[in-house]
């Protein structure tokens, strides 16, 4: 049997190409975590860019002057929100941590009251099954308690590490200033120090990546921010109106996090919350939460077609697989990172995917 060495050399080259790209993406992810302040500054600079160009066009100012004006406004807003957020998060997280056992006892009592409405004797369930069911419920509550407690302790540690936050904030602000003011110079320097072939290839990939992933992330970030603002304002209004909402900022952050997850949305938090409130006897609060959810949904449905197209070419089942894989590998943040990496993979390997990955690599034609 004669081996076609040219064929296997071509197959090996394509497999090596895929492996090198995967290694590059892994290193890029690790570096992005390590250089998080610069990544945050880069994302904010992308969001600020339209405002800078608008000022340049309308006010006939130079890029440097326009960038400094927008930079000052954004920095003041970020500093104010950061100060308010740290103080409020510390207060709410500390109070929730102290009263966590009380809320878990209430949840268990609510569950017992709910199951008590059913006549178990008519169902004819064995006593052993009822005992296992009750023990498993207690185990779930204990697990949830452990997760919540660990999360709140970590949140308090982060919030109280003022020197670390100050260093991150200063570095992020300085990086943001240079990226906005000296954008043209930075791009020229990158182009000057890289080979022309690299610049062309990177330029093509970056343009496609920014078009698919950049616009998608910017639009999703805008929608999540809108949902967070509506939820936090609505929850504080309900709090001032006398409803029993003790941790509006923490709840709004949780709603925004779930709303950021593909497939899922704010309804996965707010609808069950409203139902539980109704079952617990607080029907007015349940209705108020549903009204707030309807407002958020209407605003999102109005903005979404204008900001992002749902058709990004990724079927929901693959998005769900990416979310699960990310969760298994890096925890809760993987629910967010997984779909993003999936979109990056689709963009980089678009030609392979369109032609068939295995067919492209191993086909002899």
Task: Give Cβ neighbours of residue 184 (< 8 Å, ≥ 6 apart).
Answer: 63
pTM confidence score: 0.64
Question: 42-46, 137-141, 198-202, 356-360: which has the minimum mean pLDDT?
Answer: 356-360
Judged by phi (left if over 0) then psi (alpha if -120 to 50, else beta), residue 261 lies in: beta
Estimate to the nearest angstrom the gap between the alpha carbon of 175 and the chain centroid.
Answer: 22
Report the Cα 259 to chain-centroid distance in Å. 8
Query: What's the pLDDT score for residue 1?
Result: 45
Return the higher-pLDDT residue of 96 and 5.
96
Per the prediction, the chain carries an average pLDDT of: 75
Residues 355, 314: Cα–Cα separation, whole Å:
16
Residue 200: what pLDDT? 67
Closest CA to 338 of 329, 346, 326: 326
Q: Is a pLDDT exceeding 80 seen at residue 297? A: yes
Q: Is 263 left (phi over 0), alpha (psi -120 to 50) or beta?
A: left
The 10s digit of each residue's pLDDT in 116-164 is 555 555 555 556 655 665 666 666 667 767 777 777 777 777 767 777 7
> Which carries the bigger pLDDT value, residue 295 or residue 339?
295
- Rounded Cα distance, 105 and 101, in Å: 6
Rg (CA), the chain: 26
Q: How many alpha carbons fall within 13 Å on the CB side of residue 288? A: 17
- Note the pLDDT of residue 311: 47
Residue for token pair 């409130």: 277
| Whole-number Å distance between alpha carbons of 316 and 166 | 40
Answer whether residue 354 shows pLDDT above 60.
no
Half-sphere exposure of 265 (CA within 13 A, CB side): 12
Measure the CA–CA gap between 214 and 43, rounded to whole angstroms: 9
pLDDT digits (tens, 9 = 90+) for 61-93: 888 888 889 889 988 988 888 888 888 888 877
Find all residues with CB under 8 Å of 296, minimum gap 6, and list them. Answer: 227, 230, 231, 234, 266, 270
Greater pLDDT, 348 or 330: 330
Q: How far apart are CA 46 and CA 206, in angstroms?
A: 14
pLDDT the model gives residue 224: 80
Tokens standing for residue 32:
């992005």
Instruction: Give the pLDDT confidence score for residue 313 in this predicted structure.
Output: 57
Highest mean pLDDT: which range of 99-108, 169-178, 199-208, 263-272: 169-178
Mean pLDDT, range 300-315, rounded to an integer: 62
d(CA 354, CA 24): 22
Residue 222: name the closest of 333, 128, 337, 299 by CA.
299
Residue 258 contacts residue 272 (beta carbons within 8 Å): no
Of 188-192, 195-199, 227-231, 354-358, highest mean pLDDT: 227-231
């Amino acid at each position: 049997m004669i081996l076609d060495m040219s064929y296997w050399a071509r197959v090996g080259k394509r497999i090596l190409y895929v492996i090198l790209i995967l290694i590059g993406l892994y290193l890029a992810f690790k570096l992005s975590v390590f250089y998080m302040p610069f990544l945050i500054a880069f994302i904010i600079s992308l969001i600020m860019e339209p405002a800078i160009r608008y000022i340049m066009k309308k006010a006939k100012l130079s890029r440097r002057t326009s960038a400094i004006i927008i930079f000052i406004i954004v920095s003041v807003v970020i500093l104010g929100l950061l100060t308010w957020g740290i103080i409020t998060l510390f207060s709410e997280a500390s109070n929730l941590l102290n009263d966590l056992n009380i809320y878990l006892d209430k949840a268990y009592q609510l569950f017992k009251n709910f199951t008590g409405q059913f006549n178990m004797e008519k169902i004819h369930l064995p006593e052993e099954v009822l005992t296992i069911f009750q023990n498993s419920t207690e185990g779930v509550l204990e697990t949830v308690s452990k997760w919540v407690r660990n999360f709140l302790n970590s949140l308090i540690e982060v919030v109280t590490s003022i020197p670390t936050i100050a260093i991150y904030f200063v570095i992020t602000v300085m990086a943001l200033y240079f990226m906005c003011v000296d954008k043209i110079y930075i791009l020229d320097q990158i182009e000057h120090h890289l080979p022309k072939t690299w610049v062309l290839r990177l330029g093509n990939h970056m343009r496609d990546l920014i078009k698919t992933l950049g616009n998608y992330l910017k639009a999703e970030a805008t929608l999540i921010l809108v949902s967070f603002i509506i939820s936090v304002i609505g929850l504080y209004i309900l709090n001032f109106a006398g409803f029993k909402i003790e941790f509006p900022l923490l709840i709004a952050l949780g709603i925004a996090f779930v709303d950021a997850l593909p497939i899922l949305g704010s309804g996965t938090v707010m609808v069950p919350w409203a139902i539980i409130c109704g079952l617990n006897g607080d029907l007015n609060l349940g209705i108020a939460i549903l009204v707030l959810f309807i407002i958020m949904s209407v605003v999102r449905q109005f903005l979404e077609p204008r900001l992002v197209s749902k058709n990004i070419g990724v079927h929901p089942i693959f998005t769900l697989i990416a979310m699960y894989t990310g969760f298994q590998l890096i925890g809760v943040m993987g629910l967010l990172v997984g779909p993003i990496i999936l979109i990056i993979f689709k963009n980089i390997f678009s030609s392979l995917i369109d032609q068939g990955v295995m067919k492209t690599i191993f086909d002899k034609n």
